[in-house]
Copies of this chain bind each other. A is one copy, B any other.
């Protein structure tokens, strides 16, 4: 589409976009700054990416509200629009050009659906899907091929479940969720009681709740508990290969990056960010807005807003200092031995 048309469509979602009116290329695709060629739209967030304005081959750019950058783009004949959040506007633009694959609404004849299952309107049930008794599926739900859904599961409107996912018994999934391929929701929590005769299996009679807008990454696992619930709050997003143990409670709008592991009973507030491979021990509580950097090992409660790093976790500020000194340990130790002699 013409750049002017794109700007018009984006203006419907944003206030007062600035643009350079002289330039109106045809935009056929979106690209990164590095890979952009003629007829593409890219974006600059500023900072270390700012200098790309001098050499990107994009025909159009989404820029921050930075006059210098805008002048440079104009000088190079690049069409631009300026917004407070270029990445967000780029995402909105991408939605105008691209929609992920979604099968047409239909019940595939190879699907095996138990009697009495409630299906909403306009649902898509893919080939070889299995849905057990007592399941309720909302409107516009899309279930990709080879998914298995155990009894008494509830799935809210517009939720998408990708291939080879397993949803175990009594799981409650809200509206507008996305469960990516291979994930397992509602599997039995890992609970065994030590006895002189060995491990006695704790039955796992609880269930999992995913609230509206939750996204679960590929091959991620969310366990149900012995009693009560495991709950993931509204609009919280989990990346691939994450483990959520039994009875974990996660708040709203959290981000858990790939390979994070949460042991049983962990409580996480709202807007918490856990970077890749973070581990959180049994029963630990993490306050609203806390952040843990990659590979952090959290054994003790984390206060709201705190930023923690390292294993065992300390404040990120202390971690940066201590790990810088850690690198000097060999030379410190040499001097230390001399000091010790003088003692």
Spell out A's residues near B (CB within 8 Å). 29-32, 35, 85, 87-88, 90-92, 94-95, 97-101, 103, 108, 110, 112, 126-128, 130, 132, 144-146, 148, 150-151, 162-166, 168-169, 178, 180-182, 184, 187-188, 190-193, 195, 198-205, 213, 215, 217-219, 221, 223, 226-228, 235, 237, 239-241, 243, 245, 247, 252-253, 255, 257-259, 261, 263, 275-277, 279, 281, 294-295, 297, 299, 311-312, 314, 318, 321-323, 325-330, 332-333, 335-336, 338-340, 342-343
Contact = CB atoms under 8 A, between A and B. Distances in A.
Q: Taking chain A's interface residues, is the majority helix, strand, or loop, or is none over half, making it mixed?
A: loop
A102 to B, nearest CB: 10
A163 B169 CA distance: 12
Contact of A85 (B163, B193, B223, B318): B193
A134 B87 CA distance: 32
A277 B279 contact: yes
A228 B35 contact: yes
Contacts of A190: 217, 237, 239-240, 257-258
A330 B97 CA distance: 52
Contacts of A332: 325, 333, 336
A200 B109 CA distance: 36
Given A130-B126, A130-B128, A202-B94, A228 B32 contact: yes
7 contacts: A32-B247, A98-B203, A164-B182, A166-B182, A241-B261, A243-B258, A295-B295
Nearest to A312: B323
Contacts of A163: 130, 148, 150, 166
A279 B274 CA distance: 14
Sort A-B residue pairs by CB-CB distance and give the 5 closest, nearest first. Answer: A98-B205, A148-B163, A166-B181, A130-B145, A184-B218
Contacts of A294: 263, 279, 281, 297, 299
B228 A217 contact: no
